[in-house]
Amino acid sequence: MPPINRLRSQDPDFSQSLRTLLAFDAEQDDSIEHVVADVLKDLRHRGDEALLEYTRRFDRVQASSVQALEIPRQEWQAALQALPQDQRAALEEAARRVRAYHERQKAESWSYTESDGTTLGQKITPLDRVGLYVPGGKAAYPSSVLMNAIPAKVAGVPEVVMVTPTPDGARNPIVLAAAAIAGVDRAWAIGGAQAVGALAYGTQTITPVDKIVGPGNAYVAAAKRRVFGTVGIDMIAGPSEILIIADGTTPADWIAMDLFSQAEHDELAQAILLCPDAAYLDQVQESIERLLPTMPRADIIRASLSGRGALILVDDLDQACAIANEIAPEHLEISTQQPEVWADKIRHAGAIFMGRYSSESLGDYCAGPNHVLPTSRTARFSSPLGVYDFQKRSSLINVSHQGAQSLGRIAATLAHGEGLQAHAGSAQYRLES
């Protein structure tokens, strides 16, 4: 059995096969929903007391007060000092590049004045307070701290609050070091739905935030969905995906490893290669077979590739682009000569990696753009996490005396048409009699 599915766009059932491959059921688990609903309700009513109780129960951490769960700044600084020099330099350089890229996303307020003196505009303001969820245990990625916190700080958010569970009291020093580098303002050793509830509703000790971002397990995701509206949230992410379009000029081993780098995340991750050259697909398959046994996470990679991965023979690169637009992948590598020609044809993708040197892994860590990207076809309507997620807009309307004469007549006509006479009256008062 090949280690990865093989498809051809000319197969009569190709559309159906592709749909089956892409299908991912994000069905919500009722038992999780109920637990989370209860935790949030309890948190909202009992505050600190509930937070301490759930932290004892789920993380096995005994604390006499919520204040005792704050991770003091000295501890982050110590973690940063203790980091091996190469790790620290790499994190700092990654942070610098991420900051430089995101600086370009800052929106500025604008306004314009019309000939009658009426001024219209849009005022940009950062959010006051943002909560950043960082998973504990094996999924605690310092790169994720950088990618979530830096855009908020670039946006001008005065207070970024990190929460991270510390099962049995184990704190992750690299995560703390990353928080120090990213400019996080405070950190609490709490997690799960109870941490999401504390951030959304506030407790006696914890000030509520305006938005919660960052990845988490199914409980955290369910809690974020439930508090949405009380606070903003980022997207609920599905399994990570890569789609590679290749013309056959990139070494096959490189492409195999790029597919692995996605597949190693988890069994549900998806790695797909599109290429018009059947011989090249054979080479990549051979690379996969040869390299797979050497990978520390071979089991996960194997499960991902055989379950959800595919090497797909396409007619040509134009067809590859059309399929890419249908899939709207989180990550798209265009590993071809003159990649800009094909990138121009892509309408839907979270991030587009162009040319053989642009491996996804460079973007995951340090190229500069964000690694929090829309999954599960949501790139059709959503964007990478960015500074714009931490700024919001207010419309500005300053109508002059003269402007009120023309606008008031239009508004009154339309208001009467909609049967809203107070709207009409309010406009008409501003008219000269």
Interacting residues with a second copy between 168 and 227 (CB under 8 A) = 174, 210-211
Q: Which CB atom, from 78 or from 295, has the smaller least distance to a second copy?
A: 295
Q: What is the DSSP string of 71-133?
A: --HHHHHHHHHHS-HHHHHHHHHHHHHHHHHHHTT----EEEE-TTS-EEEEEEEE-SEEEEE
What gap in Å lies between CA 245 and CA 12, rounded to an integer?
22
Min CB(7)–a second copy separation in Å: 23
Q: Tokens at residue 224, please?
A: 């974020």
- Which residues, numbered 402-421, are part of the site for a second copy (CB under 8 A)? 403-404, 407-411, 413-415, 417-421
Q: Which CB atom, from 318 or from 357, has the smaller least distance to a second copy?
A: 357
Q: How many residues bind a second copy, per CB under 8 A? A: 118
Residue carrying the six token digits 């300053």: 398
Q: Which stretch binds a second copy (CB under 8 A): 48-56, 134-142, 161-169, 196-204?
A: 134-142
Q: What is the DSSP string of 55-83?
A: HHHHH----SSSGGGB--HHHHHHHHHHS
Q: Which of residues 17, 207, 319, 361 is near a second copy by CB under 8 A?
A: 361
Query: Is residue 124 exposed (0-12), middle (13-18) or buried (19+ Cβ within 10 Å)?
Result: middle
Residue 349 interacts with a second copy (CB under 8 A): yes or no: yes
Min CB(204)–a second copy separation in Å: 16
- Which residues, numbered 10-69, are part of the site for a second copy (CB under 8 A)? 26
What gap in Å lies between CA 33 and CA 51, rounded to an integer?
18
Q: Which CB atom, from 162 or from 300, has the smaller least distance to a second copy?
A: 300
Length of the chain: 433
- State yes or no: 325 annotated in a binding site: no
Q: Are 158 and 126 in contact (CB under 8 A)?
A: yes
Quick note: the x/- pattern for a second copy over 272-291, rule CB under 8 A, is: --------------------
Min CB(413)–a second copy separation in Å: 4
What gap in Å lies between CA 25 and CA 22, rounded to an integer?
10
Residue 433 interacts with a second copy (CB under 8 A): yes or no: no
Element (H, E) at 353: strand 351-354
Residue 104 interacts with a second copy (CB under 8 A): yes or no: yes
Q: Which CB atom, from 51 or from 235, has the smaller least distance to a second copy?
A: 235
Q: Which of residues 19, 70, 138, 336 is near a second copy by CB under 8 A?
A: 138
Min CB(64)–a second copy separation in Å: 29
Min CB(17)–a second copy separation in Å: 20
CA dihedral 302, 308, 348, 99 (to 10 degrees): -30
Q: Which CB atom, from 2 or from 251, has the smaller least distance to a second copy?
A: 251
Q: Which of residues 90, 218, 268, 303 is near a second copy by CB under 8 A?
A: 90
The CB density around residue 46, as the number of other CB atoms within 10 Å, is: 14
Q: Which CB atom, from 110 or from 169, has the smaller least distance to a second copy?
A: 110
What gap in Å lies between CA 354 and CA 358, rounded to an integer?
6
Q: How far is CA 56 from CA 191, 192, 194, 291, in A?
A: 11, 12, 11, 44
Residue 261 interacts with a second copy (CB under 8 A): yes or no: yes
- State yes or no: 418 annotated in a binding site: yes
Of 52, 49, 149, 41, the closest CA to residue 102 belongs to 149
Min CB(427)–a second copy separation in Å: 5
> Which residues are annotated binding-site positions for Zn(2+)?
262, 265, 364, 423
